[in-house]
Structure 1
């Protein structure tokens, strides 16, 4: 049985870089965002129910989901956001569990879940929670460079996520990311060695 680390962090924290570093080290990485996009891609499992709940207007003439229009709807109507989450989260949860089975022989794996803290039902998937932590100003600067958003929009997104304090309270491990990519990669490498040793020992104890 593989052990699983739930990886999370706020927007601009560097979580995706951490996930990539784990993958480069040979660790299985399951990405909840990739799963979510696949569920809403052409012929995705979520599309029939999305059409039923939100109507034909958010689909184009070729039957493709208009993601921008759906995002706008969810932003304007909080009840629509709740509807979409109630629809999507069980599907994402089920798909993650299926993917976990593929890596049952690994020592451990990583599940990249941006809303792990905000949606506690996902915590059952992980044995430990790893939070990528950074200063608020770093988040704003990174997102501004990457996505060219205004500061007010970035702060709005940050406000919709769990606070830094809330994340740190539930973390088993915290990975500070206030330096260079090289420094971050080195920290991941050390954490990987720790996880390998810890989970290998636990797997032997629990035989």
Structure 2
């Protein structure tokens, strides 16, 4: 089994690329989806989060109040580190479990938005694929997709690794700027052929 780490800034098109890799036979492990499951009502992260940050980050149904949590971590870098200290070990355990369940696949893709920021993922994967786009394109896509203001998108972008840092960590970069879906799919296909062929014994 070969492991590919997939990352990119918000609005880069990373999730679209992930879907294209799955269409080619990869198993996908989505760390954002894992994080969401950990913060649903009854999720394993909710008790330690409530103990660390107080009851106002917990909704009436027991799920994480994401808007309130986002406000806290954007205003306080230490709060961000404390939240990550709770979530990252639990996400790591879930990733290991899901990878063990993907034994029938030759390729496993770990979709990790904060792959570069975490500092731990490089050693856990064989290759890193970065999906890149300009900040203006990122912002426009998220505003259309999620209805966020430009200021809200920019607040997320500045919390993430820079484009330069992500590109420096990459084994390959797909520059998803001005591409049709067909053109993006062709880029993914070319990389798949190169990397999966390289994995063959």
Partner SS state of residue 120, structure 2: helix
Matched, 1:146 2:156: no
Match of 1:11, SS state, is coil
Aligned-residue CA RMSD (Å):
1.6
Describe the SS at the equivalent of 2:115: coil
Counterpart of 1:44 in structure 2 is 43
Deviations 1:128-174 (A, max 9, x none): 10001122322122122112222233222211111111111111011
1:83 CA drift (Å): 0.8
The aligned residue for residue 189 of structure 2 is: 189
Query: Per the alignment, in what secondary structure is the counterpart of residue 118 of structure 1?
Result: helix
Q: What is the number of residues matched between the two proteins?
A: 200
Q: Which aligned pairs between 1:107-122 and structure 2 lie closer than 5 A?
A: 107-122=106-121
Per-residue deviation, 1:57? 2.8
Question: So what's the TM-score if we normalise by structure 2?
Answer: 0.92
CA contact (8 A) 1:97 1:125 kept: no
Q: 1:99 to 1:157 in 2, by over 3 A?
A: same
Cα separation, partners in 2 of 1:55 and 1:135, compared to 1, 3 Å: closer
- Stretches of structure 1 that go unaligned for 5 or more consecutive residues are none
Structure 2 gap segments, 5+ residues each: none
Which residue does 2:131 correspond to in 1? 132
What is the rounded CA distance, in whole Å, between the counterparts of 1:119 and 1:17 in structure 2?
A: 22
In the alignment, structure 1 residue 104 sits paired with structure 2 residue 98: no
Q: Which moved more, 1:17-26 or 1:133-142?
A: 133-142
Instruction: Find the aligned partners of 1:149 and 1:191 in 2 and give their Cα distance.
Output: 32
- Counting only pairs closer than 5 Å after superposition, residues 136-175 of structure 1 correspond to structure 2 as 136-175=135-174
Counterpart-to-counterpart distance in 1, 2:126 and 2:108: 10
Q: TM-score, normalised by structure 1?
A: 0.90
Please tell me whether Structure 1 or Structure 2 has the larger radius of gyration of its CA atoms. 1
8 Å contact from structure 2 (residues 74, 155) kept in 1: no
C-alpha distance in 2 between matches for 1:10 and 1:21: 18
Residues 43 and 195 (structure 1), Cα distance of their counterparts in 2 relative to 1, 3 Å cut: same
Structure 1 runs of 4+ with >6 Å offset: none
Q: Is the deviation greater in 68-77 or in 7-16?
A: 68-77
Alignment of 1:60-71 (within 5 A): 60-71=59-70
3-state secondary structure, aligned to 2:117: coil
For the 8 Å contact 2:12–2:138, the answer to whether it is kept is yes
Q: Report the counterpart of residue 180 of structure 2 in structure 1.
A: 180
C-alpha separation in 2, matches of 1:18 and 1:47? 31
